Structure formats: structure tokens, C-alpha cells
Amino acid sequence: MSFDSREQSLASGQPVRLYQFKRGVLRWSYNSSDRDITWNNQIFRTVRGGIGDNGIIQSGDPQADQFVIEAPADLDVAQQYRGRPPSDEVELTVYDLHYGDSEALICLAGSVSTVNWPKVDTVRITCLSIEASMERPGLTDTYGRTCREVLGSTRCKVNLASYRVNGQIQALTGTTLSAAAMAAYPDGWFTAGYVEWSAGSGNYDRRHITRHQGTDLVILGGTAGMPVAGTVRVYPGCDFLIETCQGKFGNKDNFRGINKLQGESPFDGNQVW
């Protein structure tokens, strides 16, 4: 029987919901039944204690139509959010099928928004659909002396890989990372840059650098989760002034600020404007 036939049948339907979380090449696949299910050459594991959701809501407001999954507190994918969330977005695809069928339909595609543990034995994963992400306001180009691009973006055109510095962690405190390789650069070179380290399977976690002095990097959000004595990749930052753009990166041709802008407001009532 086809999916539609079993979906409409009063006696033949055996609905199962498949949940697949994805971060890069990492996959976490679960199903709502009492046994593992193989579909599309992938194994969707049963969850001891069960996994379920609040249903698909389509009210016309994607931001409010939250898809909430509840499962046992030790669900593998939820452990990615213990302490601090991963640096990359975790995508979610939800499928509906009937047990024994090979046909499954996508009923939701989106990403994880928040994860919390309302009870000791329960995790609640709140997700938003793709439609919600499309309604987020974009960044607006501003009129000012500083560059309005993100360092290393397609319009900035700086190749950050050529400025990357690999270093071995020598010490970690609550907010500071120390690595000898940083001392080879002038103080402030890595300020407003970021540090990243392997999270496995080709994924990296990242933290912003708020200050660089000597061998020390002060990390926004702290150093929890960083590998003790491990290797990190460190990227320099930019203050978005044309002097830094040229002196540090030789990139003034791609500078997207107005560095000769007058220090007067066109809205101050002065008739010269």
C-alpha cells in the first residue's frame, strides 16, 4: 500500500515519526517506535523511554510555530548543548512513514533553537522551521567610516586561512587561553578574531577573542570545552579602519567604509547639507 492509502486507512495505518539531526557529517537519527527502523539505508534508533513532539503547527507565524521534541535527558544529540551550544547550527529533518513501508514524507525541515532540561530525566529540544529562518532580518549596510563587512567574507576577500596560526594550549583559566605561538605577534593582533578547535568528524567549535596580550587570549564565553594541552587554530581580528585594512591585510581596495567621511551629521540642521 502507498503512504496515502495507509495514512487514510482506519485499520492499516502504523504511523512512525523519524527524527534526523545533522551537524556537518555528524548524524543523530531516532524514531518514535519501540524498535530500530532502517529507512533509506539509514538506521533510525528507538529511544528507551520514548521520543515525541507537540505536532506540526502552522498558524501563519513561523517564529511562534515552535516544534518541541521531548525525550530522555541522556539523548545523544542533546549532550552537544551541555554547558554551551555548538558553534554550528544543528539541522533537523522530520519524516512521517508507516511501519514496513519504504515511502516516507518530510513533514518538517528546520534547525534546533534551544535545548533545556525541565526535569532531571527529560530533555526538551525546541526547533524552528526553515520559514522562521527566512523571516530573520538581514544586515543593513551602514554609512560610516568603518568597514561594514565581516572579515574574511566574500566581499571582504581576505583569505583568513593564510593568516591562521596553529598553537598548542599551555594553560587554561576560566576566561583565558595561553599558547606560546601567540607571543610572536604584537599585542592586539588577535583581538576581535576567533579561536577554533576540533569537535570531531571535521567539525570545529569556535569562540571570539576579546583581548590578546603576549601569550594570552581572553575568550568570550570562557574556555570550557577547550582541549587541555590540545591544538587550536587562531585567526586575527580587525577593527574595520582603513589603516588596519591596508597595514594588516593589504586589502584597502576592498574596504567598504567611507574613511574620509566628515565628522558632522547631515541631520544637525546645518544648511551646508
pLDDT tens digits, 12-40:
789 999 999 999 999 999 999 999 999 99
Q: Quote the pLDDT of residue 272.
A: 62
What is 160-254's CATH number? 2.40.30.20
pLDDT value at position 1?
Answer: 65
Tell me which of 2.60.40, 2.30.110, 3.40.50, 3.30.70 is the CATH number of domain 3-134: 2.30.110
Query: Who wins on pLDDT, 169 or 102?
Result: 169
pLDDT in tens, 262-272: 877 777 777 76
pLDDT at 273: 52
Q: Give the residue from 205, 262, 257, 255 showing the smallest Cα distance to 230.
A: 205
Provide DSSP, the chain. Answer: --HHHHHH-SSS--EEEEEEEEETTEEEEEESSSS-EEETTEEEEE-TT--EE-----SS-TTT--EEEEEETT-GGGGGGSSS--SS--EEEEEEEETT-S-EEEEEEEEEEEEEEEETTEEEEEEEEHHHHHTSPPP----SSS--SPTTSTTT---GGGG-EEEE--EE-SSEEE-GGGGGS-TTTTTT-EEEEEEETTEEEEEEEEEEETTEEEETT-STTPPTT-EEEEE------HHHHHHHHS-GGG--S-TT--SS-TTS--TT-
Residue 255 has pLDDT above 90, yes or no: yes
**pTM of structure:** 0.83
Q: What is the pLDDT of residue 6?
A: 78
Direct distance between the N- and C-terminal alpha carbons of the chain, in angstroms, rounded to an integer: 74
Please state the domain extents for the chain. 3-134, 160-254
Q: What is the pLDDT of residues 206-252, one digit of tens each?
A: 999 999 999 999 999 999 889 999 999 999 999 999 999 999 999 99
Region 166-174 average pLDDT:
95
pLDDT digits over 38-78, tens only? 999 999 999 999 999 999 998 988 888 999 999 999 999 99
Residue 56's pLDDT is 92
